[in-house]
Amino acid sequence: FQSPKTCGPLENLQRRYGRCLSKSFVGESVPRKERLNAQYHYMLHHCLPGAAQMYDENVEEALYRLYAYFPGVECDAGPEVVDKRMFQLPPDATDRDEVPLDARMAPGCWSRIPKPKRLPSWLSPKDLDHYLKEFKISGFAGGMNWYKALDMNWKATFGERSSVIHVPSLFISGEGDAVIRAHGGAENVRNRMNQTCFNLKGFYLFKGAGHW
């Protein structure tokens, strides 16, 4: 997922995974058949109607799997959904053309990754309970809205791509962060930070850590 230069991030993703959203980058309606063939990507899923509600209703499973899963970890079972398509319509639906294409018909990430047997060593059950309580109060709507605004933010800042950040900056991430790999690797990201941030105080990557 590279930062796009000719279109917004959501449009860029839909060109790769298929058009699951009802409107295109320029506001045109997307045919239902085309949407049904779209592949799953979590950023696109977060933009579907009802995505925040589905996260709210599955907060325990979502946070547990997101925090606990990593490749190679011992799991109780595989993912419930292995079909890569975004939408999974009920097989017994009598009128499939009338089923709404929203988050209710698009299983979230908690259904698409295995369930680990235990939490990682860095996250205690007490800590997880704290996060669960907080998300049950706040809900996921705020976070989902950030994804929905990606293309609007891209348009709003289009003329500022060459701007330099002058305030002191610090970059911290994990060596296994997929976003860093998608942007060309650690050295490429470091070089871009040095070009963009006039007062970069440090660039740190932690071993054994990822995006979360």
**Which pLDDT score is estimated for 92?**
78
Picking from 135, 130, 131, the residue whose alpha carbon sits closest to that of residue 55 is 135
Distance between CA atoms of residues 120 and 111, nearest Å: 19
**Which pLDDT score is estimated for 25?**
62
- Are residues 30 and 86 in contact, defined by beta-carbon separation less than 8 angstroms? no
User: Quick one: CA torsion of 8, 14, 19, 22, rounded to 10 degrees?
Assistant: -30
**Which pLDDT score is estimated for 49?**
94
Strand partners, 23: 29
Distance between CA atoms of residues 177 and 179, nearest Å: 5
- pLDDT tens over the chain, length 212 residues: 455 678 888 999 999 999 999 876 666 788 999 999 999 999 999 999 999 999 999 999 999 999 999 888 999 988 999 999 999 998 877 667 788 999 999 999 999 999 999 999 989 999 999 999 999 999 999 999 999 999 999 888 877 666 788 999 999 999 889 889 888 999 999 999 999 999 999 999 998 888 86
